[in-house]
Structure formats: structure tokens, C-alpha cells
Structure 1
């Protein structure tokens, strides 16, 4: 199974799992579904930027152009699932998010076209894109909290923690790929301005906490072990990014770790039914 097919299968399973633990409503998307869609949109937003940096790093390697297109397409699909929000504030924030994303998508596609045509991009548009990415991440987090507040529904703690870990891994990938790209380390995205050392430390600490959770089953423990094995493989490179840059390796393993973490979320959801 290809990575893309696996990601689609995981998303389908996650939606089913969320439906099992949420009251069904024929008229509107449930809060659990909306929050899952929003989480996936946030991952895709970060992925689009890290893939752009990798496209720059690898001198126009078309696999990263395809990854950008896939991230854009999946983010649009996720946003389409946020049309039936119940709360007035949530609806307003959702409208702002859709508008902000639309302009980001346009700017990203323009930069990709420029890179294809001339082999490089000016620095300022890339800096603007990264800042745009951060604003999307901030607004989407505000919307996530508002949906929970207005609906009275809260994502179960272990599912929430595993989602945060996915986003953190993607933020690390964005940071690392930006440092390796010719645009320089100044242009970071993902909505987190902390140093890569801090991000790496938090990921390792949270992974340990998840692994020690008493609610873990044989299945979730196996998935966490898979995450840990892959994390151990790149952790040293992340900590020593100035000594031996390996963006392709970090990008590949980050994607695989995120897939495992999304699988973990679905397993926690299924176990809570």
C-alpha cells in the first residue's frame, strides 16, 4: 500500500471511529467529525509548507510538487467538511479560515510555478508564505477551541494528545526543511516559534508520557513502539541539524511517524467506544 493510500485509509478509519463515539445527527456534522476534519486540515497546511521547502531543497523533485498538490487537495476536502457548524462564533471563524486558506493556496501555487519556471524564488514571498501559514495555524487552533466550547464536546485526552503529537512532528519537519532550504532558517511555518531543540525535547517527553499511559492496549503499545523506533532513528539528526543536514531522511521518517500517530488516534478512539 502506498503512503498516500495508507493516509486515505487512516482518515476513513478515523472518521468511522469518531462516528462511533459521537451522537449522530442527520442535519449537521457532529462536533467530533468537525474537530477531526479541522485537525487534518491543520496537518495538511503544515505539510504543504514543508513539501514546498523540500521542493526547493531537492531542486524541483516532482515528488514534492505532487505532495504539495495532495496537501492542498486534502486541506480543501477537510475545509468542505466544516460547512455545517452550529455555533455562530464557530461559523464566523470558519469563514475567516476558508478565506485565509484560499489566499494562502493561491500564493503557494504561484511560488511553485515561479520555482518551476526559473529555478529559484525571491526571499520575501517565501517569508510571507510562512507567515501566512502561521496565521492559518493560529486561526484554526482558535476555531478548534471554539467548536469545543460552543458544542460542549471535548476530544478524549489521549486522542487529543496524539493529535498534538502529530502536529508537533509536522512542525519539526517544517522547521528542519526550512533550515535546509536555500531560503534559510528565518522562514519557518507551522505556528510555533520555539527553537527546534525545544520542539524535539517536547516530542520526546510527550512520546514517553503516551507510552506510559495505563489505558494503552497491546495494539496501541505496538503502534507507540513503531513511533519510538522511527523517532530514535532521526532524533540525533534533529538535534544536530547544523552538523549534517539530512532533509530527505527527516521528511521521509516524519511522514511515517505522523501516519503511525494518526493510526494511534484511531485506535484510542475505537478503544473508547
Structure 2
């Protein structure tokens, strides 16, 4: 009888331990998904901003749809974040970010309406939107770090490098587009407190170097080589801005880098599960 009780007690403890491990794994997965949605939110807003700058210089309805797509992607990510805090962040903190996003969307709407009405952008209004995009991105980055600390989630260093590289590329792409597509490029160059393009490009160099460290994963190596190849092609244009550069090529290659960075993140996360 005593041995039977010991076996039952041992089995109970084992089941409890297994349940705790399972709960912890699910909590970690939920927290990582939360971080992924915050990352998508940051990227999507800068993609929308880049598209708006291109639209302001061309008045092309097809480009306007790119603005809508970027805002919709950011909106979906924000809604997911708001519904799935899971104790990772307070509702007030998420609501603060949501309010900053509402301000950005309102400014985007106003800028589009002004462009439609007068055929060219309002510099003050466009500057307000650029500054709001930077404020909102900084807030999202702050919450991203808070979520990591709250969930005690240690994200893979290379995943973090890829995400930071993607945010930096999206910011550079939007800033470059602001200078290229504005008829007042000498007076409007994006957010007032944003770093210069050459500084951001050098930061991107650092993130790309971090991404290249670590054990080799065949598909990942090919993806990083693709990123490096594209970056080498356009890096000089970001370091030494020149109005004679072909802007649509810079935009296309920048988006190709963003797509490849997303692939790198997926490959890294898959390798961790295998």
C-alpha cells in the first residue's frame, strides 16, 4: 500500500510538473507572438508613410492603395496586440499606443485629403505626420522592451538583430522617399528629430553584422547573402543622398531587403523549434 501511494504521489508530481512546463511554453509562445505583432505594427506604419510620400509626388491612385494596405496591416497588428496582452503589458500602456496610432491615422487622412484637393502636400501637415510616426514608433519600441522584461522573454539575438534591421530599413526607406518625392526636398526631409540617413545606414550595417553571426543554417545563409547583395547595391545612395539616384530602384531593393529579413526571422524561429 505504501509503495502504491509513493507511485501515485510521484505520478501526480510528474503530471503537475508537465502541466507547468506546458503552461510556461504556451505563455512564452503567446509573449513572442505579442512581440511579433508589435514588430509588424512598427514596420507597417513606416511602409504606409513611405507610400504616402510617393503618392504626394505622383498623385497615383495605385500608390494610394499602398498607403491603405500599410495602414490596414498596422491596424490589424494593433487590434491583435490590444486583444492579447495576456498580462504582458497593462491595458493602459497598450491604449496609450493605440491613441498615438489614432493620431497618426488622422494625420494621414488629413494629408491625403489635402493632396487630393490642392494637388500637392502641405509641408506643416506632412511634418506633423512624420513627427507623429517617429513618436509612435518610439512608443512601440518602448512597449516592446517592456513586454520582453514583463514576460522575462529572451528573444534570440539574431531574431532581434533582424527585427531591428527591418525597423531601421523601413525608417530609412520612408525618409529617403520624403526627400525624393517632395518638391520641397530642401526644406522637408522627414521627422525633425530623426537621425540623418547616413547615420541610420551605419546602424543598419551593425544589425546586419549581428544577423550574420552564429551557427550556419543553409537557407538562412542564402537569405543573408541576398540581403547583403541588395544592401551593397543601394547603401551608397543612403550614405550619400543624391537627387539623381533612381528612387524607384532604391524603394524596390529596400522592400526586397524587408521581405528577406522577414524570411530570416521565420527561418531562425523555425530552427529554434526543431
TM-score calculated relative to the size of structure 2? 0.84
**Contact 1:93–1:139 (CA under 8 A) maintained in structure 2:** no
Which blocks of at least 5 consecutive residues in structure 2 are unaligned?
Answer: 1-23
Q: What residue number does 1:194 align with?
A: 195
- State the SS of the aligned residue for 1:215: coil
Provide closer, same or farther for how the CA distance between residues 167 and 233 of structure 1 changes in structure 2, counting only shifts above 3 A: same
Paired residues of 1:45 and 1:72 also in contact (CA < 8 A):
yes
Alpha-carbon distance in 2 for matches of 1:222, 1:148: 29
Please tell me whether residue 62 in structure 1 is matched to residue 61 in structure 2. Answer: yes
Tell me the distance in 2 between the aligned counterparts of 1:31 and 1:41: 15
CA contact (8 A) 1:45 1:75 kept: yes
- Give distance in 1, aligned partners of 2:154 and 2:184: 39
CA distance in 2, matches of 1:124, 1:243: 22
Pairwise CA distance, 1:233 = 1.6
Q: CA deviation at 1:216?
A: 2.8
In 2, distance between residues paired with 1:41 and 1:192?
Answer: 21
* Counterpart position of 2:145: 145
1:171 — aligned with what? 171
Answer yes or no: is the 8 Å Cα contact 1:32–1:153 preserved in 2: yes
Instruction: Indicate the structure with greater helix content.
Output: 2
Residue in 2 aligned with 1:206? 207
C-alpha contact (below 8 Å) 1:38/1:140 kept by paired residues: yes
In the comparison of the two structures, how many residue pairs are matched? 247
Equivalent residue for 1:132?
Answer: 132
Indicate if the aligned counterparts of 2:234 and 2:250 stay in contact, CA closer than 8 A.
yes
C-alpha distance after superposition, 1:82-114 (max 9, x if no partner) = 122133853221101111111211220221122
Q: What are the residue-to-residue correspondences of 1:30-179 with 2, within 5 Å?
A: 30-57=30-57, 59-82=58-81, 83-87=83-87, 89-179=89-179
Unaligned runs of 5+ in 1: 1-21
Q: Quick one: higher RCO (CA 8 Å, sep 6+), 1 or 2?
A: 1
Instruction: Classify 1:35/1:183 alpha carbon distance in 2 versus 1 (closer, same or farther; 3 Å).
Output: farther
Higher mean alpha-carbon deviation, 123-132 vs 180-189, is at 180-189
Between the aligned partners of 2:243 and 2:70, the Cα distance in structure 1 is 30
CA distance in 2, matches of 1:139, 1:24: 26
**RMSD value, Cα:** 2.1
- For residues 46-76 of structure 1, the C-alpha deviation after alignment (integer angstroms, 9 at most, x for no partner) is 111111111123x112232111000110001
Counterpart Cα distance in 1 of 2:63 and 2:25: 39
Contact 1:237/1:246 (<8 A) preserved = no
> What is the SS of the residue equivalent to 1:81?
helix
